[in-house]
């Protein structure tokens, strides 16, 4: 097995756009992207990247300039991403579902003066409102009609015109076609991959305050190379990657888009998650690679629609963003015949740090082994410095070429998160076994302190998932006068199933210790999720705090 030191010695940092150029030179005529049936080859994609890069340079975009991308998964995202990086500028990713206030905050913080977006009213109107606040100077407008096959374009113009924004033709707006000059290419730019910031990726980090992780070309190129090692069995030029996770999220940016580029895979783009459309496109394109989050696989497992589709083309899946319940993994593998493994990473690690082997050596419940070039330490939760013995639980610290440069304009947060030796504090609690497999038990901030014992919500959630009636669950801490804190379980049942709190408690007595048993159970039709489909504790924690504050106010 290659050591981290050996891999790092062999790894040469590269500007990220060079991966696209290498693929174009070898697979130029191969399909690069499919959007609703319209296909672009790698040659066509490269031509659009070059002409767009030249157009951006003419606008004054270059090193030190941060360009915002507020786009759903369409070819525009990939075109602008590589065009911006090729001319030495920086991509700042924006979630198109953000409200105006969130877009404004991030644009100000990231020093973004140019935003790329679509002509769709639901996105454009928010970006334009931010421009009118004088936060932005220019909006580059990408027309939805450009992405659609001819017939769908006609139908869209006929029936969905009301979804298009009314956009003025003025100096503040630049349309995509105005950037294009056929055959144009940008002036070459020297890029230092060690230091040049390729992407500003905003995250709550380990403190919950939104801040931009500075991901350099070195960070991203290292993670691309690491993922190529993980997917060593993937066939160059033959894979079809399902891209339903949004590219503005770091997991999809690396594992769906950038990995597709290095594998010369065809990106099957989905602008949003809609289950029937997803199943239809898997069948139509015979998708082979499917990165996702646990809730995606759960939705497919539990939908009555799924039985009508042959999903056997799917061969390899990697789940990230949240813990993958063992029951979800096993059900999806049985359903499709694929290999589904859990991986792990953070925005600050570009993002992938560990993945299970894509073979019979994978281990359910583990995030796998560290990817090449990465090393780890486990330290005491109390002092954040003392290393714990092998097999003991501690905070996971990571070191490797994919670890971010730091947080944009947040030197204090950087110093608190990255040690002087370059190790990243992840905020996750876990341990490593003798075979190098890492097991996470929870986030430090989610830890429940119950009668002096550390109780981990993930352990309780895994136990709840073993009940056949359970679809989704979230466990959080609630105040307990006697124990200090106790667990509370929120549960969504599968369609047509019934279950009471007493029945679930009786079931869990066989799987959990008395201290781990939830004190309260609440059943809901839906559980809160983040923009990328991960189950989200934050809303439930806030809701519980509000509920208890109101109860205390009434009793006062």
Mean pLDDT computed over 135-142? 98
512 falls within a domain: yes
pLDDT at 159: 64
Q: What CATH number did the domain enclosing 323 receive?
A: 3.40.50.12780
Same domain, 273 and 326: yes
Q: What gap in Å lies between CA 443 and CA 425, rounded to an integer?
A: 12
pLDDT surpasses 50 at 207: no
478 falls within a domain: yes
136 falls within a domain: yes
110 falls within a domain: yes
Q: Which of 53, 304, 367, 313 is nearest to 186 (CA)?
A: 53
Q: Is 485 exposed, middle or buried (0-12, 13-18, 19+ CB in 10 A)?
A: middle
Q: Which residue has the higher pLDDT, 425 or 326?
A: 425
Same domain, 359 and 475: no
> 45-54, 90-99, 118-127 — which is least confidently predicted?
90-99
Same domain, 270 and 404: yes
Same domain, 192 and 260: yes
Q: Where is the domain boundary, 417, 438, 469?
A: 417
439 falls within a domain: no
Q: What gap in Å lies between CA 280 and CA 286, rounded to an integer?
A: 10
pLDDT at 203: 87
pLDDT at 365: 87
Same domain, 497 and 366: no
pLDDT surpasses 70 at 108: yes
**Counts of helices then strands in the chain (DSSP H, E):** 18, 25
Question: Each residue of 396-434: pLDDT tens digit?
Answer: 999 999 999 999 999 999 999 999 999 999 999 999 999
User: Is the peptide bond between 351 and the residue preceding it cis, with omega within 30 degrees of 0?
Assistant: yes
Q: What CATH number did the domain enclosing 498 receive?
A: 3.30.300.30
Same domain, 403 and 457: no
Contacts 24+ apart (CB under 8 A), 444-448: 444/206, 444/381, 444/395, 445/206, 445/208, 446/476, 446/477, 446/537, 447/381, 447/477, 448/477, 448/485, 448/486, 448/487
In the chain, the percentage of residues whose pLDDT exceeds 90 is 79
pLDDT surpasses 80 at 253: yes
Angle at 269 between CA 268 and CA 273, to 5 degrees: 115
Q: Where is the domain boundary, 399, 417, 435?
A: 417
Same domain, 206 and 75: yes
Q: What gap in Å lies between CA 333 and CA 340, rounded to an integer?
A: 6
Same domain, 208 and 163: yes
Same domain, 121 and 187: yes
What total number of domains does the chain contain?
2
Same domain, 267 and 307: yes
Residue appearing with tokens 């004088």: 134
pLDDT at 1: 58
Same domain, 239 and 296: yes
**Domain coverage including residue 514:** 448-555
Q: Which of 19, 159, 174 is nearest to 81 (CA)?
A: 19
Average pLDDT, the chain: 93
Q: Which of 428, 440, 273 is nearest to 356 (CA)?
A: 440
Same domain, 187 and 334: yes
pLDDT surpasses 70 at 506: yes
Mean pLDDT computed over 493-518? 94
435 falls within a domain: no
Q: Where is the domain boundary, 417, 438, 473?
A: 417
pLDDT at 205: 47
pLDDT at 216: 98
428 falls within a domain: no
Question: Each residue of 50-104: pLDDT tens digit?
Answer: 999 999 999 999 999 999 999 999 999 999 999 999 999 999 999 998 889 889 9
18 falls within a domain: yes
Mean pLDDT computed over 465-472? 95
């Amino acid at each position: 097995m290659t050591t981290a030191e050996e891999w790092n010695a062999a790894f040469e940092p590269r500007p990220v756009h060079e991966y696209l150029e290498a693929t174009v030179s070898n697979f130029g005529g191969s399909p690069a992207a499919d959007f609703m049936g319209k296909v672009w080859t790698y040659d066509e994609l490269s031509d659009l990247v070059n002409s767009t890069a030249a157009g951006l340079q003419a606008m004054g975009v270059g090193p030190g300039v941060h360009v915002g991308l507020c786009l759903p998964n369409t070819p525009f995202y990939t075109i602008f991403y590589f065009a911006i990086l090729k001319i030495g500028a920086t991509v700042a990713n924006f979630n198109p579902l953000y409200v105006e206030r969130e877009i404004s905050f991030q644009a100000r913080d990231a020093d973004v003066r140019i935003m790329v977006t679509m002509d769709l009213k639901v996105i454009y109107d928010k970006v334009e409102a931010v421009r009118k606040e004088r936060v932005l100077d220019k909006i580059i407008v990408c027309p939805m009609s450009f992405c659609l096959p001819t017939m769908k374009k006609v139908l869209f113009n006929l029936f969905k015109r009301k979804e298009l924004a009314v956009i003025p033709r003025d100096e503040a707006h630049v349309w995509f076609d105005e950037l294009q000059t056929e055959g144009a290419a940008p002036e070459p730019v020297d890029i230092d991959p060690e230091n040049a910031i390729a992407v500003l990726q905003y995250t709550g980090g380990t403190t919950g305050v939104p801040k931009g992780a500075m991901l350099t070309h070195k960070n991203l190129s290292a993670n691309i190379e690491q993922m190529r090692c993980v997917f060593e069995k993937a066939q160059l030029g033959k894979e079809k990657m399902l891209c339903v996770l949004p590219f503005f999220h770091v997991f999809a940016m690396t594992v769906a888009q950038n990995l597709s580029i290095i594998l010369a895979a065809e990106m099957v783009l989905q602008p949003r998650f809609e289950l029937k459309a997803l199943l239809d496109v898997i069948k139509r394109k015979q998708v082979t690679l499917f990165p996702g989050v646990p809730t995606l696989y759960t939705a497919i497992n539990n939908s009555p629609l799924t039985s009508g589709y042959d999903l056997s083309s799917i061969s390899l899946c990697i789940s990230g963003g949240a813990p993958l319940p063992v029951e979800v993994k096993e059900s999806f593998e049985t359903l499709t015949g694929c290999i589904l493994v859990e991986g792990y990473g953070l925005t600050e690690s570009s993002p992938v740090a560990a993945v299970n082997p894509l073979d019979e050596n994978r281990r359910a419940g583990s995030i796998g082994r560290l990817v090449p070039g990465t090393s780890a330490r486990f330290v005491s939760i109390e002092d954040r410095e003392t290393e714990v013995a092998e097999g003991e639980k501690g905070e996971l610290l990571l070191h490797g070429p994919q670890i971010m440069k730091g947080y944009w304009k947040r030197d204090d947060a950087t110093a608190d998160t990255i040690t002087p030796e370059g190790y990243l504090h992840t905020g996750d609690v876990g341990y490593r076994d003798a075979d190098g497999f890492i097991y996470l038990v929870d986030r430090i901030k989610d830890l429940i302190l119950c009668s002096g014992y550390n109780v981990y919500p993930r352990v309780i959630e895994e136990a709840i998932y073993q009940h056949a009636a359970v679809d989704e669950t979230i466990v959080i801490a609630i105040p307990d006068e006697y124990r200090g804190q106790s667990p509370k379980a929120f549960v969504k049942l599968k369609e047509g199933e019934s279950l009471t709190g007493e029945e679930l408690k009786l079931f869990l007595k066989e799987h959990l210790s008395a201290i781990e048993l939830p004190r309260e159970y609440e059943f809901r039709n839906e559980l809160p999720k983040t923009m990328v489909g991960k189950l989200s504790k934050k809303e439930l924690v806030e809701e519980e705090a509000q509920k208890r504050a109101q109860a205390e106010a009434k009793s006062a």
